A and B are shown apart, each in its own frame.
Chain A
Amino acid sequence: MKRFARILSEAHDQLQIPEPSRTRVLLEMASDLEDSYQFHLERGCDETEAARRAEEAFGTSEEALKHLTRIHESGLGGMQNRLSGQIGRPWEKILLLVIFAFEILATAKVVSHEAFFMFLSPFVWVIGALALTAFVFTAWKLYQIFFGRGSDVRQLRSGLGALLFFAGASLAVSACGFLFHIQRFFRANYESAAESLFMNFAGWMATISFMMILGLLVAMLTALIWFVLSNLVSRAERREVEALLAVPA
């Protein structure tokens, strides 16, 4: 497809849309240019003539590219693309690593606390299940990114948004759990003596604080993983488009 490097480079320069949308559009254009080229070859043109005709039939106008920019700039997808921008500088990587390590340590500290299982809320199991699903999904995506040599780079991004769903769901479950435990606490202690009320209140505080901290940490960790994976996928997509736009030797 490198025979169309010039026309694709021009489109690349004119397309003012965030990655990975730009890469995807360019790959689609490259694929259609190649189809057109093959079509003209089959009709008896020589290679130079087929390439010339394919470029002529392609004819991306400035207006069309502006329209494409407007389409890809809008909506939730565009926002996600901008959020998952590129991390490239060393200090950005170090900062990300520090935040990640902090998250892991904080989660481990909360879960390993001796009182954690004493005051276990049933909602913690739901948060745990969400976290487990998110981590299995992450492991699968990491395998695809680093070891799935034959896999399509365009498929790598599919489903990444699910991680944001898990993060949101973890927060929502924490909030629901909080309301549930408030309601249960007041129902159970409506007629209790003052001294037992204090003891129950302490237990209730322990239950909801563990649950809410865990929910928040899982949400943050999952969102962070989404961010890291989006960057890894963006890098793979950039590599592919760079190879595509490389001028043939």
Chain B
Amino acid sequence: MADESPKSPSTPARWAQALDTQNLSRSCNEVLILSTLSSGPHHGYQLALEIEEKSGGAFRFKHGTLYPILHKLENDGLIRGDWLEEEGKRKRKRYQLTAAGRSRLSEQVVEWSEFFECFFNIVVES
């Protein structure tokens, strides 16, 4: 018999809560940024460019819209921004994933997989 205790919500309920399904695009942007940063530190502009190039233009950020997402992630301690001067040139802010961010990314990957599984179940059935 399935565990129906309120302490262990069913999987869809769990990812629905975690992914904030009312704001899917925001959740999506967050996981895109976290996963791009998992390959190493990036500047804000590099992030937008890399996501756009890797997705073949499907995910195109207006660079200005990146800041609220980046600053929120930074405030939440998921990424860290440092101002660095490279090779005697101008200073730029570079973001990198924190341990908490890495852990959140792992959770989000699982949650997004479950989300799409559930989504395609409905779409394919119909």
Contact = CB atoms under 8 A, between A and B. Distances in A.
Interface in A142-189: 152, 154-155
B63 A68 contact: no
Interface string B60-99: 0011110110011001000000010100001111000000
A28 B75 contact: no
Q: How large is the interface on A (under 10, 10 to 19, 20 to 34, 35 or more residues)?
A: 20 to 34
Interface of chain A, main secondary structure: helix
A35 B75 contact: no
B62 A58 contact: yes
Contacts of B72: 67, 71
Contacts of B102: none
A114 B87 CA distance: 58
Contact of B64 (A34, A58, A152, A155): A58
Contacts of A71: 68, 71-72, 75
Contacts of A64: 62, 64-65, 67-68
A80 interface: no
A124 B85 CA distance: 43
A28 B65 contact: no
B44 A28 contact: yes
A155 B85 CA distance: 11
A196 B93 CA distance: 67
B49 interface: yes
B45 interface: yes
A156 to B, nearest CB: 11
Interface residues of B, number: 21
B25 interface: no
Contacts of B85: 152
A57 B67 contact: no
A39 B50 CA distance: 13
A63 B93 CA distance: 23
A59 interface: yes
Contacts of B71: 25, 68, 71-72
A36 interface: yes
B65 A61 contact: yes
A39 B92 CA distance: 15
B67 A25 contact: yes
Contacts of B11: none
Which 8 A-B pairs rank lowest in CB-CB distance, beginning with the nearest?
Answer: A60-B64, A59-B62, A67-B68, A35-B45, A32-B45, A154-B83, A64-B65, A32-B44
Interface of A: 1, 11, 25, 27-29, 31-36, 39, 57-61, 64, 67-68, 71-72, 75, 77, 152, 154-155
25 contacts: A1-B90, A28-B93, A29-B64, A31-B91, A32-B43, A32-B63, A32-B92, A33-B63, A35-B46, A36-B63, A39-B49, A57-B62, A57-B63, A58-B64, A60-B67, A61-B64, A64-B62, A64-B64, A64-B67, A67-B72, A68-B67, A71-B68, A77-B75, A152-B91, A155-B83
